[in-house]
């Protein structure tokens, strides 16, 4: 009988290792409120502990220094390469602005801004490439001034020209995929 319990215990441990532990709601937190880990990341700390955000032109200038860096799935450093959200996270982390490494969460950072009011340093979010996609699947950092055609720097996985590059929204497939502009600075 002891061997049955040992075998059962080993199976439970194995299953927990394969499928992971379920996320438990912290004690004392109402069930209808999301766990703190599920909340979108909001920028709270600025460079050198100042109460003012970094200058958007500084953010864009630093992002431009990454032009040509390779695309790498789940990458978030110039040494390994970047995916789109890893690139956004890396650039903003240089200025001590916390960003999630998830395009699905980038759609919730900062505050929404009308597309025609997008300015350098804003984050732009798009759906994935599938024609039926409606969820966030790509992101970049705006480099154009308000009122100009929307241009952004991003890490692209495109077969023809992958890596960190600048693209335009108007007149491209990004126009169809456009979801939102988010201002974090």
Among residues 60, 63, 72, 84, which one is catalytic? 84
Residue 92 domain flag: yes
Q: What's the confidence (pLDDT) of residue 3?
A: 64
In a domain, 20, yes or no: no
For 66-83, how does the pLDDT look when each residue is reduced to its tens digit (9 = 90+)? Answer: 999 999 999 999 999 999
Q: Note if 101 is an active site residue.
A: no
106 near 99, Cβ under 8 Å?
yes
Length of the chain: 185
pLDDT of residue 33: 41
**What is the pLDDT of the chain when averaged over all its residues?**
84
Residues of the chain with pLDDT under 70: 1-3, 5, 7-51
Are the C-beta atoms of residues 182 and 94 closer than 8 Å to each other? no
Residue 27 domain-assigned?
no
* Residues 41-70 pLDDT 10s: 444 444 445 567 799 999 999 999 999 999
Tell me if 149 is assigned to some domain: yes
Residue 144 in any domain: the answer is yes
The answer to whether 76 and 86 are in contact (CB under 8 A) is yes
Q: Which of 151, 154, 177, 182 is catalytic?
A: 154
DSSP string, 37-96: GGSPP-----GGG-SSPPPHHHHHHHHHTTTTPPB-TT-EETTTEE-HHHHHHHHHHTTT
| pLDDT the model gives residue 9 | 65
Please report whether residue 29 resides in a domain: no
pTM over the 0.75 mark: no
Domain contains 12: no
Domain of residue 127, residue span: 36-183
Residue 50 sits in a domain whose CATH number is: 3.90.1720.10
pLDDT of residue 52: 75
Biggest alpha carbon distance in the chain?
A: 76
Total domains present in the chain: 1
Point out the catalytic residue in the list 115, 138, 177, 183.
Answer: 138
84 is catalytic: yes
The verdict on whether 154 is a catalytic residue reads: yes
The reply to whether 79 falls in a domain is yes
The pLDDT value recorded for residue 65 is 97
């Amino acid at each position: 009988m002891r061997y049955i319990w040992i075998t059962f215990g080993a199976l439970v441990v194995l299953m927990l290792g394969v499928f992971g532990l379920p996320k438990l709601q912290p004690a004392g937190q109402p069930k209808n409120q999301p766990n703190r880990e599920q909340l979108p990341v909001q920028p709270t700390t600025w460079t050198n502990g100042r109460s003012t955000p970094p200058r958007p032109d500084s953010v864009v200038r630093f992002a431009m220094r990454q032009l040509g860096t390779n695309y790498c799935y789940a990458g978030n450093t110039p040494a390994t390469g970047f995916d789109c959200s890893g690139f956004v996270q890396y650039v903003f982390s240089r200025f001590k602005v916390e960003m999630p490494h998830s395009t699905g969460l980038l759609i919730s950072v900062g505050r929404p801004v009308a597309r025609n009011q997008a300015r350098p340093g804003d984050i732009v979010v798009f759906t994935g490439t599938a024609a039926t996609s409606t969820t966030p699947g790509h992101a970049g950092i705006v480099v154009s001034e308000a009122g100009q055609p929307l241009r952004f720097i991003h890490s692209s996985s495109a077969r023809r020209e992958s890596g960190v590059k600048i693209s335009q929204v108007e007149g491209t497939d990004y126009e169809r995929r456009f979801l939102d502009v988010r201002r974090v600075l």
